[in-house]
Amino acid sequence: MYNLSEILGKAKAAKPVLAKLGTDAKNEALLLVADELKKSHDEIIKANKVDLLNAEANGMSPALIDRLKLTEERIEGIAEGVRQVAALPDPIGEVLSMWKRPNGLTIGEKRVPMGVIAIIYESRPNVTVDSFALTFKAGNAVILRGGSDCINSNIALVSVIKRALSEKGITEDAVSLVEDTDRKYAEELMKANGFVDLLIPRGGAGLISSVVMNATVPVIETGTGNCHIYVDKSADINMAVRIIRNAKLQRLGVCNACESLVIHRDIADLAIPLIASDLASDEVEIRGDEASCEISNIVTPASEEDYGTEYLAKIISAKVVDDIDEAIAHINKYSTGHSESIITNDYESAQKFLDEIDSACVYVNASTRFTDGFMFGFGAEIGISTQKLHARGPMGLKALTSTKYIIYGNGQIRD
């Protein structure tokens, strides 16, 4: 029987050691990890080949097999990602604020590591390295539980990371891989209260919902995005067409892609034919309400279910509304709280949309595809939170930290 408790215990024991690591020590270790990854590409590609052969034997789709595949170039890309994390400012130790109370106590709020972070993810081996780099830079120990499809690649990658850490005299327990991908160990990880300070699921809707419903440790829900673009009556229609094309088509399988359109009735006759023919020219299927079907025969009837669907494919829903209030109500009803955008030239509409849409990222006149830690300037991203607790929207290094109060006294007692 596989012993997850040992991993949990070791990760917990590593916490104080990792919290004390200086910025230079962390950055030097990350740079060595990057070098070692590059140097070890033969070893990594060999392990990856086993995963690829298994995937083919299991009938995995070519698109998924491609996501799984590691090449020398891709490994160099992963290593470069680690170098970029090394170059980011260290979030740990920052004192966010400090104040003095009338009784003389001086209270400071200091940024500290979260502790032990567990990541449950699917079949992309780059997530393994990426998750280690970010959690390590923020002073945490990480426990990785990737999918069974890339287990051999993951074992090779984590062994390279451990080797580099060890060479720098840093505890190898900074990173652990759950090598037995039996579901029961993932579930044990979800319930490891007292050991896991934060659990982040990275993957599809099924994985995320299973983690949210089963975990008893603190979780950040990431990901699913039924993102809307609302074309207001004062919209620049050409801008709307351009932004919708970008948000739907620039990359299909991502959580910040646009899945749903909402169009003001006063502009629908002009806007829908242009938007529809532009999207149709790239084989996007448009499923709309009665009004939009009447305006354009490219549009096919939508079901109620369509409005709530994250397609991640060349399909988009469309709905015509009488005013911005109906648009906002529709969006707040069907969205997953990820990213929504209004195309408008009306000041009041823009402000109202920003105020009243209840999503992590709310845009005026821009593509929803910008919801991303790199695009936001965070220099990194561990995921996009769609919950309101702790972090909302793209999560960079700071989302992987906590704070503590440090209080300087000189004998104060409470009356």
> Residue 322 or residue 408: which is nearer to its own copies going by CB?
408
Q: Give the shortest CB-35-to-its own copies separation in angstroms.
A: 30
Q: Identify which of 197, 208, 217 has the alpha carbon closest to the alpha carbon of residue 15.
A: 197
- 51 vs 90, which CB is nearer to its own copies? 90
Judged by CB, which is closer to its own copies: 46, or 191? Answer: 191
Task: Quote the least distance from Cβ 293 to its own copies, whole Å.
Answer: 27
Q: How far is the CB of 92 from its own copies (least distance, A)?
A: 11
Q: Sheet holding 300-301: strands in order across?
A: 300-301, 285-288, 315-321, 258-264, 227-231, 339-343
Report DSSP letters for 315-357, one per residue: EEEEEEESSHHHHHHHHHHH--SSEEEEE-S-HHHHHHHHHH-
| Token pair listed for 246 | 């970008």
Closer residue to its own copies in complex, CB, 43/236: 236
Closer residue to its own copies in complex, CB, 15/228? 15
Question: In angstroms, what is the minimal distance from the CB of 261 to its own copies?
Answer: 16
To the nearest whole angstrom, how small is the minimum distance from the Cβ of residue 358 to its own copies? 7
Question: Cβ neighbours of residue 273 under 8 Å, at least 6 residues apart?
Answer: 295, 296, 298
Beta carbon nearer to its own copies, 322 or 358: 358
CA distances from 71 to 66, 75, 193, 285 (A): 10, 6, 38, 35
Between 40 and 222, whose beta carbon lies closer to its own copies? Answer: 222
Least spacing, CB of residue 325 vs its own copies, in Å: 10
Which residues is 145 bridged to in the sheet?
120
Give me 216's structure tokens: 């008893």
Which segments of 177-323 does DSSP mark as H helices, in order?
183-190, 205-214, 237-249, 265-280, 290-295, 304-307
State which residue, 150 or 219, has the beta carbon closest to its own copies: 219
- Give the Cα separation of 303 and 299 in Å (integer): 12
CA distance linking residue 393 with residue 341, whole number of Å: 14
Q: How far is the CB of 354 from its own copies (least distance, A)?
A: 5
CB of residue 63 vs its own copies: minimum separation in angstroms? 21
Closest separation in Å from C-beta 28 to its own copies = 21
Residue 336: count of CB within 10 angstroms of its CB: 20
**At CA 231, angle to CA 230 and CA 235, rounded to 5?**
140
3-state secondary structure of 26: helix
CA pair distance 54, 351, nearest whole angstrom? 53
Nearer to its own copies, 183 or 333 (CB): 333
CA–CA separation, 260 vs 248, rounded Å?
Answer: 9
